[in-house]
Amino acid sequence: MRQKWIWILATSLVTALAVAACGSSGGSAKPSGSGLEKTHLTVAALPIVDDAPLFLAIKKGYFKQEGLTVTPKVITQSTLALPDLLHGSVDIVGGGNYVSYMEGQASGTFSLKILVAGTECKPASFGVLALPSSGITSPAKLAGKTIAVNLTNNIQTLTADAALKADGVNPSSVKYVVVPFPDMAAALKAGRVSAISAVEPFLSGAEQADGAKLVLSQCSGSLASFPLSGYFATEAWTQRFPHTAAAFQRAMEKAQAYANANPDAVRAVLPTYTKVTAAAAQHLVLNSFPATMSATQLQRVASLMHTGGVLQSPFNVQPMLFH
């Protein structure tokens, strides 16, 4: 699966470079009076809590204050936006899971920059759930079972493996299958999987609608406050549009700080880009939204990727940070 993943990314990169040679499909640079090289951006985003600050930034006018107009493009998996990102038809990907993106970076498949730190998990906001009828009531009972994840070889499988190992369960005894977040509850209810690794709003949705129970937190112990996702652009894009990238970063840092301090605002914006209802949003467990990037925090991801076998050699995240 990992080789297939890298092959897909490599193919996308080759195609992207060919397109770039003929001219960017993302629109020409348009200098403005404020010094911005580009003022209209398309940002790919997931229908999950991680990207709430993006929609709050639009609602609160933070982008407009920076001279930007941002159009979100909702996708089901962050990696689905990679070909568009590499081609230039998407400027930035929000909610990109660090593991998949760092793996591609470390392999030399592409060169990206992290513009904004998206979310850090909380104990009850990220974990493995099962139905009471399954008899799975503890991490030990996940051995030999099938767990749904949004992507394999990503932040979900890596943290699940680490959490299982910490609870004395051999991670290799678990089988991961790909099920998009919006389809996880239905797959669990239908018995197509034994358990699901979910984030909000899908975690609370499975708990409330189907009575699923959290049997393994993927955000406790050594995984507490673990970085989950961020906002990515290609290095070439940031070099071509440095003032635009900085303006986006400033607006998002303001939105991240606002989201962290105003959980009710996060809950209020969720129904505008997800299927979660206003009533259901009140029960969600929210992650943390860091206002600034921390190389120390993000290095935790790369270190776990190395010890977890995703990366064969140590990887320094510092060069990926956009400043």
CA distance 179 to 151: 8
Cα distance between residue 275 and residue 213, in whole Å = 21
Joined together, the tokens standing for residue 115 give 């513009």
Task: Measure the CA–CA gap between 104 and 94, rounded to whole angstroms.
Answer: 16
- Is a pLDDT exceeding 90 seen at residue 79? no
pLDDT tens column, 262-274: 999 999 999 999 9
Q: Which residue has the higher pLDDT, 210 or 28?
A: 210
Report percent pLDDT > 90 for the chain.
73
The CA dihedral of 121, 223, 74, 236, to the nearest 10 degrees, is 120
pLDDT digit string, tens, across residues 207-253:
988 899 999 999 999 999 999 999 999 999 999 999 999 999 999 99
Domain boundaries, given as residue ranges, for the chain:
2-122+226-320, 126-223
Average pLDDT over residues 52-79: 94
| pTM for the full predicted model | 0.83
Confidence (pLDDT) at 34: 63
CA 281/CA 295 separation, integer angstroms: 32
Kindly report the number of other CB atoms within 10 A of residue 314's CB atom.
12
Q: How far apart are CA 123 and CA 227, in angstroms?
A: 12
Q: Which CATH class is domain 2-122+226-320?
A: alpha beta
Residues in the chain: 323
Of 110, 61, 68, 72, nearest to 94 (Cα)? 72
Q: Can 2-122+226-320 and 126-223 be said to share one CATH topology?
A: yes
Checking if the pLDDT of 15 tops 70, the result is no
Superfamily of domain 126-223: Periplasmic binding protein-like II (3.40.190.10)
Q: How far is CA 5 from CA 1, 61, 107, in A?
A: 6, 37, 11
